């Protein structure tokens, strides 16, 4: 039997129906036989970073458990982006959906397709703030990293609480289901 591993994914969108697209991406992740969404952060509206001539983003994070190895999980995520109309023509530019694999328990990767942990997650409030919603103290290394980095970054005015997706609850396993 293949073991389930925990992973954290960042989701963002700034084109089209942002809320609906993020919910659809969560649903698509959860419907994959090898992936279960177990926790979802609040949703934050954030100012663009890098390429600034674009609409504000909605950003959130999700904790998943998966039997997939990191590159296979990345392939599923890239497939979801493609199905939801993601176009990569401007670096850090507008997008219908963006899924980033941030961290996967027990996995370090540094190749041309995937770097784990994500090399810039500690520099991005639009990742750290939602992560702080869902990373528990029991996840010692990641929890300590998120808390430490949040204390050193400025620019918190560029991130605003948007709310929670009520429909996200359908993806999250109950505490009694054990993940």
Q: How many CB atoms lie within 10 A of CB 87?
A: 12
Q: Which of 36, 39, 63, 86 is catalytic?
A: 86
Nearest to 58 by CA among 176, 148, 159: 159
Decide if 64 contacts 71 (C-beta within 8 A): no
Q: Is 89 considered catalytic here?
A: no
Q: Is 95 considered catalytic here?
A: yes
Decide if 109 contacts 84 (C-beta within 8 A): no
Q: Which of 18, 36, 95, 149 is catalytic?
A: 95
Q: Is 124 considered catalytic here?
A: no
Decide if 86 contacts 95 (C-beta within 8 A): yes
Q: Is 47 considered catalytic here?
A: no
Q: Which of 75, 100, 133, 179 is catalytic?
A: 100
Alpha helices in 35-139 (DSSP H): 70-83, 125-134
Q: Which of 36, 39, 98, 149 is catalytic?
A: 98
Active site residues: 86, 95, 98, 100
């Amino acid at each position: 039997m293949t073991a389930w591993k925990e992973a954290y994914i960042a989701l963002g969108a700034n084109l089209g129906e942002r809320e609906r697209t993020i919910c659809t991406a969560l649903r698509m992740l959860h419907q994959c036989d090898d992936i279960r969404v177990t926790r979802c952060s609040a949703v934050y509206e954030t100012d663009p970073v890098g390429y600034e001539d674009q609409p504000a983003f909605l950003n959130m994070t999700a904790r998943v458990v998966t039997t997939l190895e990191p590159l296979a999980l990345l392939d599923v995520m890239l497939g979801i982006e493609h199905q939801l109309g993601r176009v990569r023509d401007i670096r850090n530019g507008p997008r219908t959906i963006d899924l980033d694999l941030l961290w996967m328990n027990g996995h370090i990767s540094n190749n041309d397709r995937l770097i784990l942990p994500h090399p810039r997650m500690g520099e991005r409030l639009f990742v750290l703030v939602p992560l702080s919603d869902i990373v528990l103290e029991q996840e010692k290394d990641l929890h300590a990293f998120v808390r430490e980095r949040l204390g050193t970054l400025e620019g918190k005015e560029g991130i605003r609480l948007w709310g929670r997706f009520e429909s996200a609850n359908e993806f999250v396993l109950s505490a009694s289901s054990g993940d």
